[in-house]
A and B are shown apart, each in its own frame.
Chain A
């Protein structure tokens, strides 16, 4: 062709300027449509939110579990450094300086206090030397304990003696027992004699100075009757005197924590600083020299004693258990987010179909569309990503779950990868959708049906992460991995093909389906990419909600059951001495003992109950099986054997055997339950009547009475089979009420445990708390999916109005039209929900054992699939969809002013 243009009249800017201006306008295109840019930003914000919230959530979980663990162990952050060596002035002073310096480096520890302690020394009573050469002293024992500590002497209640005198302080009991008084001389390890400076009131009787309550029990003078151990009692003396004796002993520096740790990072920091003390034994010349001075060359290094390391181990263990579900949920959330991103990209293609169709008609290749999507959506991805991070952080951090300054906890690399993946997904969807714009609608829809597989694929991958990566690949649970792919695919396929068969059959026979059903089916099968992807996203979200709520529900039920099994009632206490007094209402005493079975010789836990008070006093969880009344009734059953027993938990009790406490008794099993109050976590448990056992034992004893012994005298020699049993008070009263009542009745009762105490344990609560939080995230994700769907519907209202008008012209009633719309959406969501929920329940079933609290305590609780809960979630989803569809239908039915005018 020849050019007819002479080049005059038109000024053409440079290519760079033209392209730059065009590129700028092109980049601004999505931002000119409010709906489009909101959809794009939201679609990128969701995966970013999921990735970021997992990090913040992990931190929140770590901090919350740390706080709980520290709270459960008062004094757990304290540290004690205990060094063994010669208690000399030089040695102690050298070590004192070095130790204080090291403890001072631990931020949370206060000023340490020094305790000098001699765990065992020879103590002799000084007597004048006798003329016949007898020794000048009489050794009265070894293993005497000495305590020197600031304020110790001042905290004694002086019976006799003078605090200003430098000497030993002994208890009133020992003074009387040994006949020692103020001024008597005693010899310690053959050194110079030292005087008794005073006698103090026994610390184990009556009131005592609170000073002693804060000391470790081992150094507090206490009542001792074992081995007549006068010398095992602690003797208090001034530090200077102890150091002058030059005996071997222990120097303890005790430093209490002045502030608690609120975060996991704080715990790690505290533990690390404490480990620094141990490292100083070899890393610090000053410390090494001090240890050598105190303990001698090659002597033992000081022992650091603190619960901090154990707390950290416990927290780390719980966190390790939680890490995988958090990762799985985050991954599933990201998959969900990417599905939303795909839907957003599909929506963008739809909104820009004219442009895309033109480019495709011009012969643009798919990769050009993909590249354009990446470049053009990049700003939206950046904005959406930032919003997602802020939202993820805000959801957890703003309520105060974590330190709000901890932005550094968010790992930005995975978020960037997530956004990159989102851009690639958007690019792929754009390329595929744009390529299909030229096809007929039917062909395009058919090609997009594989999108239904997305939630299944995501579920399979999540399942693999959940089950497979925990250990080696040999432990991969094939059922969990295969179920989403094979089972659900087959299920969904079956439904689709059945429906298709029905449609064809109706056609062939000339019959007809109800209009609503027909239109719903037509709409479902011709659903466009956006609707398919959004329903897939909702399926994943609902699956996540089901997964977490099912787990949390089951964990709560398991916790309730196991806590009830351990505590027995609302409150439990240990009786230290036999108690025959009155008991308050709803209170009973259970005798608890271990013995062996005559068959097999296995250990069995015996719980002897009082039939009259048992049923009212214990809490019987439904998961125990049966009821307290049934147990009581069963135990009343007359049996041929000595006693009737009900087996609780482990059913491996042989029938027809016996067990022995003071005498062997035969038993007959009259019932079994899955668990019971005070069930043993280590051995099979049998519940028996304590009065029946007493009667049997008494009868046996009476039968053995020698003929020449008086009946009453013989009866007085009877030993109860429960003489060594633990007496456990179980009550429905609260701790305070029970304590007051028993104190008023002079019952020696201690170690109160309540249900609330038990449930507060960090390990018990952690999994529940964590899954509860994940459920919240899942709910947020679900809301995001629903929100996107509503937005999508509102954007589609014009197309829906046309569709609706056509339906009406075909004779469809308004109500049927609305029903068709509801069924269309429901059809999509129900399939997605079935897929997501069943996958979630299966995964939850397979992983529940990992998080079950108090695994050794019966009942052995598996996942309790709560059908009402599943139905409630389904009903909620259906409700939302129905409302959304009806609202959308109503909005779509409204005609614009222009349309009304045109009709006029």
Chain B
């Protein structure tokens, strides 16, 4: 477990625009985000809020239209595709929603992990250790088809965690799991974070939210708020904007507000005009 915290994920003004027949769609707009090493974070928000797009950019699977995304100090937005691929191989692990999407059907659990371990200059013993740590030691020689969904998803985290990556990006990893399996996966996530791995997930699952360090609320492609250790905080983006929740916005039908700043007491007030 690392004692010194450092920023592993740093997003600044992250923007993703998709072209469509009906025009351009901004899936992610101006996201600023920092997550330190060994932390677990969950991105939440309604469907279409940009969770998956954000995770794909942080996971190195997609490139931003604008802005920067730094993983362990390396700006993915400035990398070529092949360099980004090498980053994925070395420092980033992506875990998908469906357990079967995360595993190669012809490899045993051990081989799944060993295969990734070799890419990260690790080996057999490390693979066996991580399997054992995530409760899969006795399933090392089983094929994915012989394992339950929960076991498969834990195996997916095992192959992601082997060799010490900086980040595991998981898109709704518990969506297809039952309660007990979810708990075991969350236990696994906690254990990995204790080892200094940053885990970022997108989720709708309240059980996940209750066990992560940070909850990032996305709305319309922007970060609406960040809840850190139970405290909900509004986010001021790099341009100084704050996004108000809908229930607050409805008090301002004219879209006008009086703003005051008490520098002494460091209080920022938004009032009806």
Contact = CB atoms under 8 A, between A and B. Distances in A.
B100 A354 contact: yes
A363 B86 contact: yes
Contacts of A355: 104-105
Nearest to B63: A439
Contacts of B116: 362
Interface string A353-386: 0110111111111000000000000000000000
Contacts of B125: 3, 5, 7
A203 interface: no
Nearest to A363: B89
A301 B172 CA distance: 97
Contacts of B19: 442
B148 interface: no
A503 B137 contact: no
Contacts of A440: 18, 62
B111 A3 contact: no
B21 A522 contact: yes
Contacts of B89: 362-364
B88 A362 contact: yes
Given A18-B110, A363-B85, A363-B86, A358 B104 contact: yes
Interface stretch (A21-29, A183-191, A324-332): A21-29
Contacts of A25: 106-107, 143
B126 interface: yes
A465 interface: no
A438 interface: yes
A9 B106 CA distance: 23
Interface in A1-44: 1, 3-5, 7, 9-10, 12-13, 15, 18, 22, 25-26, 28-29
A359 B107 CA distance: 13
Interface in A81-117: none
A507 interface: yes
Nearest to B86: A363
A507 B101 contact: no
B59 interface: yes
Contact of B21 (A7, A13, A22, A507): A507
Contacts of B61: 361, 438
Given A7-B128, A361-B94, A1 B138 contact: no
Contact of B111 (A4, A18, A29): A18
Nearest to A13: B141
Contacts of A5: 125, 128-133, 137
B102 A358 contact: yes
A28 B196 CA distance: 39
Contacts, number: 91
Contacts of B195: 1
A94 B119 CA distance: 89
* Residue among A1, A354, A357, A360 with max Cβ neighbours from chain B (10 Å): A1
A370 to B, nearest CB: 15
Contacts of B82: 365
Nearest to B84: A363
Given A12-B110, A18-B111, A442-B19, A3 B105 contact: no
B84 to A, nearest CB: 9
B15 to A, nearest CB: 15
B110 to A, nearest CB: 7
Given A22-B108, A25-B106, A363-B89, A358 B101 contact: yes
SS class, residues of chain A in contact with chain B: helix
A10 B106 contact: no
Contacts of A18: 108, 110-111
A506 to B, nearest CB: 10
A542 B112 CA distance: 47
A22 B133 contact: no
Nearest to B56: A438
* Residue among B87, B106, B111, B137 with max Cβ neighbours from chain A (10 Å): B106
Nearest to B19: A442
Interface in A325-363: 354-355, 357-363
Given A18-B110, A363-B85, A363-B86, A4 B128 contact: no
A824 to B, nearest CB: 15
Nearest to A525: B21
Contact of A362 (B23, B108, B119, B130): B119
A12 B124 contact: yes
A357 B56 CA distance: 13
Nearest to A526: B21
Given A363-B88, A503-B21, A3 B126 contact: yes
A442 to B, nearest CB: 6
A522 B22 CA distance: 12
A359 B103 CA distance: 9
Given A18-B108, A361-B94, A362-B89, A12 B21 contact: no
Contacts of B106: 22, 25-26, 28-29
A510 to B, nearest CB: 12
B57 to A, nearest CB: 12
A365 B81 CA distance: 10
Contacts of B102: 358
B105 A10 contact: no
Contacts of A438: 61-62
Contacts of B59: 361
A365 B85 contact: yes
Contacts of B184: none
B74 interface: no
B177 interface: no
Given A10-B138, A361-B59, A361-B61, A22 B111 contact: yes
A18 B107 CA distance: 9
Nearest to A365: B85
Nearest to A9: B137
Contacts of B196: 1
B188 to A, nearest CB: 13
A10 B137 contact: yes
B108 A354 contact: no
A354 B86 CA distance: 20
B98 to A, nearest CB: 8
A364 B119 CA distance: 10
Contact of B138 (A9, A15, A357, A363): A9
B173 interface: no
Contact of A12 (B85, B105, B140): B140
A439 B53 CA distance: 11
Contacts of A7: 125, 128
Contact of B101 (A357, A365, A439): A357
A361 B119 CA distance: 13
Interface string B124-158: 11101111110001101101000000000000000
B90 interface: yes
A10 B128 contact: yes
B164 interface: yes
Contacts of B107: 22, 25
Nearest to A29: B106
Interface in A153-170: none
Contact of A4 (B103, B104, B132): B132
* Residue among A3, A5, A360 with max Cβ neighbours from chain B (10 Å): A5
A22 B21 CA distance: 45
Shortest Cβ-Cβ A-B pairs, 4 listed: A363-B89, A5-B129, A25-B106, A363-B88
Interface of A: 1, 3-5, 7, 9-10, 12-13, 15, 18, 22, 25-26, 28-29, 354-355, 357-365, 438-440, 442, 503, 507, 522
20 contacts: A1-B196, A3-B125, A4-B132, A5-B128, A5-B131, A5-B133, A7-B128, A12-B124, A18-B108, A18-B110, A354-B100, A358-B96, A358-B101, A361-B59, A362-B88, A362-B119, A363-B119, A438-B61, A438-B62, A440-B62
Given A22-B107, A358-B101, 9 more contacts: A4-B132, A9-B137, A10-B137, A18-B111, A22-B106, A25-B106, A26-B106, A363-B119, A364-B85
Interface of B: 18-23, 59, 61-62, 82, 85-90, 94, 96, 100-108, 110-111, 116, 119, 124-126, 128-133, 137-138, 140-141, 143, 164, 195-196
